[in-house]
Amino acid sequence: MYRKIVGTEPPDSAHVTAWLKLLSERYSGLLEISEIGRSLMGRSIFSVHIGNSRRKALYCGGVHGREWITTLLMMNFLEDLLKSVSMGDRICEMDICRLLTTGGLTVIPALNPDGVEISINGDDISRLSNFLNDALIKELKSGEFRRRWKANARGVDINRNFNAGWDDMRVIAAERGITGPSPFGWTGKYPVSEPETRAVTELCEREDFRHLIAFHSSGEEIYWSYRQFTPPRAHIMAKILATSSGYSLNEPDIAASAAGLKDWFMERFNSPAFTVEVGNGESPLPLSSFPFLYNRLREMLVLGIAM
């Protein structure tokens, strides 16, 4: 009987590191694990690659701390892929061995491990005081405040730190009163100021990804366009993802679509990129919602490799 490695515990850094170690031991030769950077607090930012290395997609989870359910989604999907290849199983009636021969997948389970750690466990307040002001440190002593933290350890919203419409987003954030470290919404002092942002942008510059999907929560929506940089095939790909998941397609205004990973990828490479808002309700989504959420999205996750 198959014994699953990845559990359903909140995926803090210790769990993710342990799961990746066990996956590499059980499925040696089927995956390639790399450290693509380190967070502000020195935590490893990992990428995992499976399948064809020349024709591949990129999936990214854990961009926002309180949206750590996306890290759990990435880890469970990785294990299911590896199990399917090892045992010759299918996922949603699709031949995974054949799929990964023609296409590959790189996954970043948690781009913002410090934010995830803050949301789940609180992290080391004394170390965070090197980056955050006294008011935020005081607030972070509250469990509820920590739980809802989206930013990295410097109070920068990673998905507002990419070099695509960054100046516009900085103005919008300032109009909302966000001009410095914050649980959410601060763009940082300049584009790509954060080690987490640099880790993924440098990976994308080194590798030739066909498309990218960034996972967030919540809303059950798929964002697929970015200004004049939307490639023609992005819409049909988004329709496939939406039909499979039952999520709706959305074209956000500039306040919801600028300085994000999806936006930068589309502008930089003229290639499709998507933001998928998984689940419904206030983040962090409860662990009890994960089985339904994962079963609903498994087909979409496989199709994202095949497209």
Percentage of the chain beyond pLDDT 70 is 99
Three-state secondary structure call for residue 35:
strand
- For residues 2 and 24, what is the distance between their CA atoms, to the nearest angstrom? 16
Task: Give the ranges where the chain is alpha helix by DSSP (H).
Answer: 13-26, 69-87, 96-102, 113-121, 125-128, 134-140, 143-147, 166-175, 195-206, 233-245, 261-269, 290-306
Instruction: Give the span between the Cα atoms of 134 and 145, in whole angstroms.
Output: 14
Give the pLDDT confidence score for residue 256 in this predicted structure: 60
What is the pLDDT averaged over residues 292-297?
Answer: 97
DSSP string of 251-302, one letter each residue: ---TTTSSSSHHHHHHHHH---EEEEE-SSSSSSPPGGGHHHHHHHHHHHHH
pLDDT at 1: 78
* 3-class DSSP assignment, residue 153: coil
Measured distance between the N- and C-terminal CA atoms of the chain, rounded to whole angstroms:
33
Beta strands 209-216 and 273-277, pairing class: parallel
pLDDT tens digit sequence for 176-235 = 999 999 999 999 999 999 999 999 999 999 999 999 999 999 899 999 999 999 999 999
pLDDT at 124: 82
Which residue type, as a one-letter code, is found at position 113? P
Per-residue pLDDT tens digits for 227-279: 999 999 999 999 999 999 999 999 876 656 789 999 999 999 999 999 999 99
CA 112 – CA 261 distance, rounded (Å): 13
The stretch 82-91 carries a mean pLDDT of 95
pLDDT at 143 over 90: no
Measured distance CA(104)–CA(50) in Å, rounded: 6
Angstrom distances, CA of residue 119 to CA of 111, 129, 134, 146, 183? 14, 16, 18, 5, 10
Q: What is the mean pLDDT of residues 45-51?
A: 97
Give the pLDDT confidence score for residue 255 in this predicted structure. Answer: 57
- CA dihedral 119→158→283→146, nearest 10 degrees, is 30
Average pLDDT over residues 173-178: 95
Q: Which amino acid is at 120?
A: I
In percent, the amount of the chain with pLDDT more than 90 equals 92
Mapping DSSP to helix (H, G, I), strand (E, B) and coil, where does residue 230 land?
Answer: coil
- What residues does 43 pair with on adjacent strands? none
DSSP 130: T
- Contact (Cβ atoms closer than 8 angstroms) between residue 189 and residue 251: no
With tokens 């008011």, the residue in question is 135
Sequence-distant contacts of 291-297: CB under 8 A, at least 24 apart: 291/8, 293/69, 293/73, 294/73, 294/76, 294/77, 296/245, 296/246, 297/73, 297/245
Q: What pLDDT does residue 252 have?
A: 73
pLDDT of res. 92: 95
Half-sphere exposure of 133 (CA within 13 A, CB side): 7
How far is 88 from 96, CA to CA, in rounded Å? 8
Contact assessment for residue 292 and residue 202, using Cβ atoms and an 8 Å cutoff: no
Tokens standing for residue 84: 């399917």
pLDDT value of position 254: 61
Q: What DSSP state is assigned to residue 247?
A: P
Q: Which of 26-35, 60-69, 89-98, 247-256 has the lowest mean pLDDT?
A: 247-256
Whether the pLDDT of residue 61 is over 90: the answer is: yes
Least confident of 45-49, 124-128, 301-305: 124-128
At residue 72, the pLDDT reads 98
Averaged confidence pLDDT in the chain: 95
- Residue 21 predicted with pLDDT over 90: yes
Q: How far apart are CA 141 and CA 74, in angstroms?
A: 29
Q: What is the pLDDT of residues 104-137, one digit of tens each?
A: 999 999 999 999 999 999 888 888 999 999 999 9
